[in-house]
Structure 1
Amino acid sequence: MKILIVTQYFYPENFKSNDMAFELQKRGHEVTVLTGIPNYPEGEIYDGYSFSENREQIINGVKVIRALLLPRGKGGGIRIFLNYFSWAFFASLKARKLSSREKYDAIIVHEPSPITQFYPALTIKKIHKTPIYFWVMDLWPESLEIAGGVKNKLVLNFFTKMVQKFYNESEKILITSKGFKKSILEKGNYEDKIEYFPNWAEDTISSGNLVYAIPELPDGFKVMFAGNIGEAQDMESIMQAALQLKKNTDIKIILVGDGRKMSFVHDFIKEHSLQETVYTMGRFPVEAMASFFNAADILLVSLKDDPIFNLTVPAKVQAYMSSGKPIMAMLNGEGAENIKEAGCGFTVPAGDGGQLAQRIAEAAQKNKEELNIMGLNGKSFYEKNYKMEECISNLEKIISKK
């Protein structure tokens, strides 16, 4: 098939759109990606890219076309708004130009926020009637209200109507979490359009074969959090757990990643003298994750307690499962249920730093064999439910049905 993937984020940015595009190309499909100039998450355009440099590329056989955008900068509300809408505008212009010389069998919209990524795909659909497969990874306008703090009813109603239009225009709505279904159905009768299409882990993590030189880690029972250190991850509760565990110097909490809450973390460590038990490693490429995970005793995942996050299965749950390590989860909803079902770790309610501290202390007392069994349970659950090859095979079936 001739497939167009529309997404604001693509390689060298680290998103599932990369795996999707490269795997579909490897399977013999002709894949084009309409994307932006890479600047996520730091907010600065990556080296080797600019408004005039590398606007069109071939990467692993995939044709990549980059539309202009205003970089995110430091991530303030107005700047992010301009980042979202500037890309949607310029990508729609690119899409119109692209449609004058190309015709596709299917368009896949990969949608972590923002929802406005749908506009360029809609531009092409209006011209060629190309079916759109909308991979919803973030619910709008709920995310705008809860994560973005937008309370204005006129704004929220505007985005609700926008979302309904996009769902109406979609051939299929692909959801990463079964919990998303309720929110989508509240906006219209889309039952026949919804298909479950979960996240997967990168091959570099699930295979565990790639050795990457990482910094030396402290001795002790290593509790590792890897990924975005942002508002949604509830670093406040993690730091409260770390404070309660301060006297247990054998337990080391290791944070691998960066994000908007990192300055809070650094300040908390300094204020409460946690330098001997909490370690911040900084950001590393996805290729380093297998080496980091292998060095950990247990892997930590967390999300704040709110209605949207409770519907979400964080992508790192699949990544952690694939690594064969036990999981410590401070979250509610489907993500916690998956961990319980798999028997691959410990769960505490979202936002409960006190209980998190207790469960970490309990885990540190368990023998290695018990923890290894939990890790293997997670690996087995991942192999049955979340392997990339199976997910992409399912996607091929979905987009070839029309």
Structure 2
Amino acid sequence: MAKKILVICQYYYPEQFKVTDICEELAKIGNDVTVLTGLPNYNLDDIPLKYKNNKNRFEIINGVKIWRVFEIARKKGTLRLILNYLSFLFASILKILKMDKDFDLIFIYQLSPITMALPGILYKVLYKKPIFLYCLDIWPESVGNIIKNKESIIYKMIKKFSSSIYLKADKIGITSKPFKEYFIKEHNIPEKKMIYIPQNSSDSYLEKDFTKEESQDIDLVFMGNIGIAQDINTILKAVEEIKSVENFRVHFVGVGSYLEKAKNFVKEKQLEDKIVFHGQYPVEKMEDFYKIADACLITLRDDGYLGETMPLKLQGYMAAGKMVIGAINGAAAEVINESKCGLCVSAGNWKGLAKIIKELIDNKENCKEYGENGKKYYLKNFTKKIHLETIQQTIINLD
């Protein structure tokens, strides 16, 4: 049964978030989808000229109606980030008051900040419509790196505020199974209000051949954000541990807050022949790096419930048929071990990571079998069809 859906997310195309794929697929199967979003500027130096001076505030792209509201570009610095969050919040609340009153439900694609959910809460209060909140960033856990004292007044206020938002959702989609315990324990959310919907990567990888050309060298590739949470230091220290081993390289593809520190570490330890930083590339260019990879790397800090999550890159690696080498806990470690798609040690265990990288180097012929195992597991659990059918069914059942 088709629905008229109001989607709320601060980020949308041309910003690279999966919410765009979800909305376009929901529209393709007959739903009337309208998105309330901000102006593109995530990971950009500024808002593109196309959207400045009040231009293109309404668009229809691939069947999805898109309303864009004013926001101040993020750029750099904490103050700019706060202004970015607040400007979207106030502009989207004003826009909500002028939108159609006959949407069947609100679909909140909740990233950070959690305040992006407030326009949806307001719409529910005004028009008594149900909310499906798909949680990608759990709050206040996501601000734990900034506010380290969980007994502080500020943290407790953010927690109370976050709880009030989650409690107003009629259904909450969680991307990792450990999040269920978090919502029950931290926010008193009944288990029946939650549904496990793991993220989907790119099914297009399934049909492509990323077999690496014959080479004596071993190439390991890390793709995605290079930040504190990604625990890049564990990879760097593991490489330093086995730097005397010949014929292997580690490639970093992406940017992030830890990139400069990582580059300085490589220079200081004279690891330039072992570690290569390629910078940021668009999604369509990732295929070039899969073609050079014998295996792909995944790490995440042991950081409470956030350290238990399953980064989306894991599904990408599996869909591409690449062996996974990890230093990670929680849901990701469970999937790696259950699928037999690679080798994994606990988060932060750089000596253990060095050991399994060395094991890969000594047994390169096993890469193919691990990669095939990962692809089979992906087909059974993570395809776009499974992902979208679960979301669509959740929406249909919401009343």
TM above 0.5: yes
Q: 2:49, 2:294 → 1: CA distance?
A: 35
User: Is residue 2:335 matched to residue 1:365?
Assistant: no
The 1:225/1:147 distance shift into structure 2, 3 A limit, reads farther
Per the alignment, residue 234 of structure 1 pairs with 231
Give matches, 1:147-296, under 5 Å: 149=148, 153-186=152-185, 187-208=187-208, 220-296=217-293
Q: Indicate conservation of the 8 Å contact 2:147/2:155, yes or no.
A: no
The 1:157/1:322 distance shift into structure 2, 3 A limit, reads same
Per the alignment, residue 7 of structure 1 pairs with 9
CA deviation map 1:62-117 (0-9, x unaligned): 1111111122112x33332222222112111111111xx34211211111211111
Paired residue secondary structure (1:264): helix
2:310 to 313, 334, 359: 313
Q: 1:138, 1:118 → 2: CA distance?
A: 12
Give matches, 1:23-34, under 5 Å: 23-34=25-36
Deviation at 1:189, TM superposition (A): 4.1
Q: Indicate conservation of the 8 Å contact 1:5/1:109, yes or no.
A: yes
The 1:223/1:138 distance shift into structure 2, 3 A limit, reads same
Once structures 1 and 2 are overlaid, which stretch shifts more, 359-368 or 3-12? 359-368
Where structure 1 has 5 or more consecutive residues not aligned to the other structure, the ranges are: 211-215
Q: 2:206, 2:86 → 1: CA distance?
A: 35
Q: Indicate conservation of the 8 Å contact 2:178/2:305, yes or no.
A: no
Per the alignment, residue 78 of structure 2 pairs with 77
Q: Indicate conservation of the 8 Å contact 2:219/2:251, yes or no.
A: yes
The 1:13/1:149 distance shift into structure 2, 3 A limit, reads farther
Paired residue secondary structure (2:116): helix
Per the alignment, residue 119 of structure 1 pairs with 118
CA deviation map 1:337-358 (0-9, x unaligned): 1100000001011111122111
Q: 2:58, 2:151 → 1: CA distance?
A: 39
CA deviation map 1:24-56 (0-9, x unaligned): 111111111111111112452235332522222
Paired residue secondary structure (1:392): helix
Q: Which amino acid is 1:81 matched to?
A: I
User: Is residue 2:337 matched to residue 1:340?
Assistant: yes
Deviation at 1:372, TM superposition (A): 0.7
Q: 1:11, 1:321 → 2: CA distance?
A: 25
TM-score w.r.t. length of structure 2: 0.93
Q: Indicate conservation of the 8 Å contact 1:205/1:287, yes or no.
A: no
Q: 2:149, 2:48 → 1: CA distance?
A: 30
Q: Which amino acid is 1:200 matched to?
A: N
The 1:227/1:51 distance shift into structure 2, 3 A limit, reads farther
Per the alignment, residue 137 of structure 2 pairs with 138
Q: Which amino acid is 1:80 matched to?
A: L
Per the alignment, residue 213 of structure 1 pairs with none
Q: 1:53, 1:362 → 2: CA distance?
A: 55
Q: Indicate conservation of the 8 Å contact 1:144/1:150, yes or no.
A: no
User: Is residue 2:96 matched to residue 1:95?
Assistant: yes
Per the alignment, residue 382 of structure 1 pairs with 378
TM-score w.r.t. length of structure 1: 0.93
Q: 1:40, 1:268 → 2: CA distance?
A: 27
Deviation at 1:138, TM superposition (A): 1.3
Q: Which amino acid is 1:193 matched to?
A: K
Q: Indicate conservation of the 8 Å contact 2:166/2:189, yes or no.
A: no
The 1:376/1:209 distance shift into structure 2, 3 A limit, reads closer
Number of equivalences? 394
Q: Which amino acid is 1:70 matched to?
A: I
Q: Which amino acid is 2:4 matched to?
A: K
Paired residue secondary structure (2:225): coil
Paired residue secondary structure (1:296): coil
CA deviation map 1:197-252 (0-9, x unaligned): 11011234344379xxxxx9x97201000000111011112111122232223110
Q: Which amino acid is 1:190 matched to?
A: P
Alignment identity in percent? 36
CA deviation map 1:294-317 (0-9, x unaligned): 320000011011112232111111
User: Is residue 2:87 matched to residue 1:86?
Assistant: yes
Once structures 1 and 2 are overlaid, which stretch shifts more, 338-347 or 389-398? 389-398
Deviation at 1:148, TM superposition (A): 5.3
CA deviation map 1:183-207 (0-9, x unaligned): 1112214222111111011234344
Deviation at 1:287, TM superposition (A): 1.3
Q: Indicate conservation of the 8 Å contact 1:233/1:303, yes or no.
A: yes
Once structures 1 and 2 are overlaid, which stretch shifts more, 62-71 or 333-342? 62-71
Deviation at 1:291, TM superposition (A): 2.9
Q: Indicate conservation of the 8 Å contact 1:108/1:134, yes or no.
A: yes
CA deviation map 1:242-279 (0-9, x unaligned): 22232223110000111111111221222222221111
Where structure 2 has 5 or more consecutive residues not aligned to the other structure, the ranges are: none
Q: Structure 1 residue runs of 4+, over 6 Å off?
A: none
Per the alignment, residue 16 of structure 1 pairs with 18
Q: Report the aligned-residue RMSD.
A: 2.1
The 1:261/1:148 distance shift into structure 2, 3 A limit, reads farther
Per the alignment, residue 128 of structure 1 pairs with 127
Q: 1:388, 1:148 → 2: CA distance?
A: 36
Q: Which amino acid is 1:324 matched to?
A: G
The 1:367/1:243 distance shift into structure 2, 3 A limit, reads closer
Paired residue secondary structure (1:97): coil
